[in-house]
Amino acid sequence: MSSLRPTLDFLLYEWLHAERLNERARFADHSRETFDAVFDTCERIARDKYAPFNRLVDTEEPRFDGEKVILPRATHEAHEAFVASGMLSAAQDYEEGGMQLPYTIEAAAGTFFATASVSIGSGMLTKGNANLLLVHGTEAQKEVFARNEFAGRFSGTMALSEPQAGSSLSDITTRATPAGADFDSDPLGPRYRLKGNKMWISAGEHELAENIVHLVLAKIPGPDGKLIPGTRGISLFIVPKKLVGLDGQLTGERNDVALAGLNHKLGWRGTTNTLLNFGEGKYPVRGGAGAIGYLVGKPHEGLRCMFHMMNEARIGIGLAATSLGLAGYYASLDYAKSRPQGRPVGPAGKDPTQPQIRIIEHADIKRMLLAQKSYCEGALALLLQCARLVDEQHTGTPEAAEEARVLLEVLTPVAKSWPSEFCLEANSLAIQIHGGYGYTRDFPVEQYWRDNRLNMIHEGTHGIQAADLLGRKVVMEGGKGLLLLAHRINATIERAIQQAQFAEDANALGQALQKVGAATKAAWATANPGEALANAVPYMQAFGHLVIAWTWLDVVLALPAASTRPADEGRVRAARYFFHYELPKIGAWLRPVETRDPTCATMPEEAF
Ligand SMILES: Cc1cc2nc3c(=O)[nH]c(=O)nc-3n(C[C@H](O)[C@H](O)[C@H](O)COP(=O)(O)OP(=O)(O)OC[C@H]3O[C@@H](n4cnc5c(N)ncnc54)[C@H](O)[C@@H]3O)c2cc1C
């Protein structure tokens, strides 16, 4: 974790001026001192309770003893320390027992845990679950479920996916039927019985908390008894593993939610991942089979409620990907500084009588380190900026809040997906720097890669995010989001062009912006979604590179004039690397987008 803290300090205070958030009434009690105290605590817990056990949680996978899921003792201790720190409810109101911490600071603090051990976890699902209930739940649901989740008594899941329905949630078949004639008068919300299977549910079974609160998407059948096709029919339910009374105490009844099996994963093994059977009758409850669930919000509006949480969940995934990328960068930097191998090539070739040099002295190793730095610190800056926009959306003036909302619409798919792809590539480069040692379990970098490989898959796959960006986000509301982003990028260009050392990059960024704009139009020239979206992933790669290049240029503009700090030179070099080696790639990515190249879409199946 060598330079994470100074990097965060620079980005938060010298670039984003996060300390000025205390000018907002909500954050008036805060200052840089209180933010720093939060970082000190998180850094300490991550160093003592997370980092030493990252390999352990990878090798000691969760296991089921027929009754309980067993996790290493270290996971319990890390979880307890995390709960005791108050970070689960840090961003909540004082009345909720929270600290009213800005989301920007909460998000930044999360990187300490994720770089130390991403899969031990820092409550992302529990927070997301409880936050959703605060917005869409009834008073009783907030009191009984959300508040106990923020307090760490209960933990939370998001149960959307099913074995046959992952990307296409409209095809879920979990069924919810009213439970009894008085179903509508349950104080915890309209009561239903759920039946169905939920696949891939993270933290779906464990003993870390007293109870597990599943938030489950299911369909309420229409009057003909059939499930309504499409996303319209989807509703959202609270399904606790153990039933709870209005007083928040467990009633002693086990709900009909059964673990069908644990998934054995490539990485991220410290978190259990489960196939759950809801309502199969393994644990009959209150006289019958069917998991008891309480409706959240209105019937058929389940996805709308879920989408409320999507921006922050996706920023969370981007931060996890970035943190893993940074962890690999730091490990490979340390390794490169100490590994002697090879000799410099001079005009007369190599001199074998000379001692070997350390690999960090080879230009190709520096290339791989700079690539990692430019990907991971660029991604971190973008994500902190997105987190800052979330704060703006919640506490800014109405105009600023609206701008933040629109910008977040276009930036969120990038914030989730770009780090998932390029910080994973950073992990691959970290392995490469270690040579053969990187391919063994004696060094941590292979685990970072395996852990990171998840991020392109969950929370909307890469392909789905790309289709969302090109198919919806850049065209929605008359292209408002893209226009606003272009406006912000142009503002950075105008400032950069006035400084001789950044003028060339400013021009390159201007050209990249034009290219992305033209490609967006060309992709949609025939108004045929099939043609436009066939090349959505290369479009997203180019779009992401544009956004990261803009972010880097904006970051280096914040450096003090004539700075002599080595870290600032590092930032200027990483930005330059990105402009010289990465940004030019967008031409190749955009070419098939502009021409609506049908090579992939029209490939006959039998020709593979
Ligand atoms: C470790 C792990 C943890 C997870 N945690 C949770 C969780 O806590 N809760 C939860 O609900 N889910 C969770 N998921 C599920 C995850 O969100 C899904 O795996 C993901 O949405 C993809 O669904 P799928 O696996 O069924 O793949 P599919 O949807 O079958 O996709 C397979 C491939 O087809 C592509 N594809 C699918 N549809 C299209 C399309 N229309 N156009 C173009 N390409 C398409 C996809 O991009 C992908 O490459 C988790 C998954 C994993 C692996």
265 within ligand 1 shell (Cβ under 6 A):
yes
- Compute the average pLDDT of residues 112-120: 98
Answer yes or no: is the C-beta of 533 below 6 A from any ligand 1 atom. no
Instruction: State how far Cα 134 lies from the chain centre.
Output: 21
The residue-averaged pLDDT of 56-85 equals 97
Interhelix angle 398-433/363-395, rounded to 10 degrees, is 160
Output the pTM of the full model: 0.98
Q: Contact at 8 Å (CB) between 509 and 542?
A: no
| pLDDT confidence bin for 44, thresholds 50/70/90 | very high
Tell me phi and psi for residue 107, to 5 degrees: -65, -45
Q: Which two tokens stand for residue 214?
A: 């599943």
Listed in sequence order, the residues at least 6 apart from 250 whose beta carbon sits closer than 8 Å to its beta carbon are 210, 211, 242, 243, 244
How far is Cα 456 from Cα 417, in angstroms, rounded to an integer? 7
pLDDT at residue 3 greater than cutoff 90: no
402-447: pLDDT as tens digits: 999 999 999 999 999 999 999 999 999 999 999 999 999 999 999 9
The mean pLDDT of 558-564, rounded to a whole number, is 93
- 3-class DSSP state for residue 464? helix
Cα–Cα distance, 303 to 462 (Å, whole number)? 20
Residue whose structure tokens are 């967008």:
586
Smallest CA separation from ligand 1 atom 24, residue: 166
**Residue 14 catalytic?**
no
Task: Decide: 166 in ligand 1 pocket, CB within 6 A.
Answer: yes
Q: Is 373 in the pocket of ligand 1 (CB under 6 A)?
A: no
Cα 67 to Cα 31, 59, 64, 259, distances in angstroms: 48, 22, 7, 9
- Bridge-partner residues for 346, per DSSP? 349
CB-ligand 1 contact for 78 (6 Å cutoff) = no
Cα(592) to centroid(ligand 1), Å: 26
For residues 312 and 104, the answer to whether their CB atoms sit within 8 Å is: no
CB 268 within 8 Å of CB 453:
no
Find the 141 Cα to ligand 1 centroid distance in Å. Answer: 29
- Check residue 2 and give its pLDDT: 61
Pocket test for ligand 1, best of 206, 458, 462, 470 (most atoms within 8 A of CB): 458
314 CB under 6 A from ligand 1? no
- Site to probe by mutation for ligand 1, drawn from 132, 306, 461, 469 as the one with most ligand atoms within 8 Å of Cβ, is 461
Give the pLDDT confidence of 582-595 residue by residue, as tens digits. Answer: 999 999 999 999 99
Burial annotation 183-210 (CB, 10 A radius, 16+ → b, else e): beebebbbbbbbbbbbbbbbbbbbebbe
C-beta separation of 296 from 142 below 8 A: no
Chain-centre distance for alpha carbon 448: 15
End-to-end Cα separation, the chain, in angstroms: 45
Question: Is the minimum distance from the CB of 86 to ligand 1 under 6 angstroms?
Answer: no
CA 411 to centroid of ligand 1, rounded, Å: 21
Q: For residue 335, give the H/E element and its range.
A: helix 310-338
Q: How far is the CA of 438 from the centre of ligand 1 (A)?
A: 29
Residue-level pLDDT at 232: 85
Whether 167 lines ligand 1, by a CB cut-off of 6 Å, is: yes
Q: How close is the Cα of 165 to the center of ligand 1, in Å?
A: 8
Average pLDDT over residues 270-282: 98
Q: What is the rounded average pLDDT of the residues 177-198?
A: 97
Minimal-distance CA residue to ligand 1 atom 13:
200
- Predicted pLDDT at 199: 98
Cα pseudo-dihedral 345, 349, 355, 358, rounded to 10? 20
Residue whose CB lies within 8 A of the most ligand 1 atoms, among 158, 275, 420, 457, for a mutation test: 457
Task: Report the nearest-CA residue for atom 14 of ligand 1.
Answer: 200
User: Does residue 212 contact residue 203 with C-beta atoms inside 8 Å?
Assistant: yes
Residue 576 CA to residue 396 CA, distance in Å, equals 33
In sequence order, what are the residues at sequence separation of 6 or more whose Cβ sits closer than 8 angstroms to the Cβ of residue 500?
none
DSSP 537-557: HHHHHHHHHHHHHHHHHHHHH
**Dist. CA 463 → ligand 1 center (Å):** 10
Long-range contact pairs involving 75-80 (C-beta distance under 8 Å, separation at least 24): 75/120, 75/208, 75/270, 76/207, 76/208, 77/49, 78/45, 78/49, 78/50, 78/53, 78/117, 78/120, 79/120, 79/121, 79/152, 79/208
Please give the average per-residue pLDDT across 371-397, as a whole number. Answer: 97
Task: State the distance from the centre of ligand 1 to the C-alpha of 461, rounded, in angstroms.
Answer: 6
Provide the pLDDT for residue 1.
45
Query: How far is Cα 564 from Cα 299, in angstroms, rounded to an integer?
Result: 60
Q: Which atom of ligand 1 is nearest to the CA of 163?
A: 26
CA of 263, closest atom in ligand 1: 1
Structural element, H or E, at residue 69: strand 69-70
The Cα 514–Cα 518 span in angstroms is 6
Is the minimum distance from the CB of 490 to ligand 1 under 6 angstroms? no
Which ligand 1 atom is the nearest neighbour of the CA of 203? 8
Nearest CA to ligand 1 atom 29: 167
What is the reported pLDDT for 96?
A: 86
- Which residue out of 464, 468, 533, 535 has the highest number of ligand 1 atoms within 8 Å of its CB and is therefore the one to mutate? 464
List the structure tokens of 486.
């272009």
- Classify 164 as helix, strand or coil: coil
- Residue 241 CB neighbour total at 10 angstroms: 26
Helix crossing, 398-433 with 476-496: angle to 10°? Answer: 70
pLDDT mean across residues, the chain? 97
Cα 456 to middle of ligand 1, angstroms: 9
- Which residue is closest in CA terms to ligand 1's atom 30? 166
Residue 454 near ligand 1, beta carbon < 6 Å? yes
Q: How far is CA 100 from CA 27, 35, 37, 43, 315, in A?
A: 6, 11, 14, 20, 19
Query: Could you read off the pLDDT of 196-248 as tens digits, one per residue?
Result: 999 999 999 999 999 999 999 999 999 999 999 999 889 999 999 999 999 99
Q: Does residue 461 have its Cβ closer than 6 Å to ligand 1?
A: yes
**Ligand 1 neighbour 201 (Cβ under 6 A):** yes
How many angstroms is it from 263 CA to the middle of ligand 1?
14
For a ligand 1 pocket test, name from 167, 215, 540 the mutation site with the most ligand atoms within 8 angstroms of its C-beta.
Answer: 167
Nearest-CA residue for ligand 1 atom 38 is 167
Choosing from 149, 392, 459, 594, the catalytic residue is 459
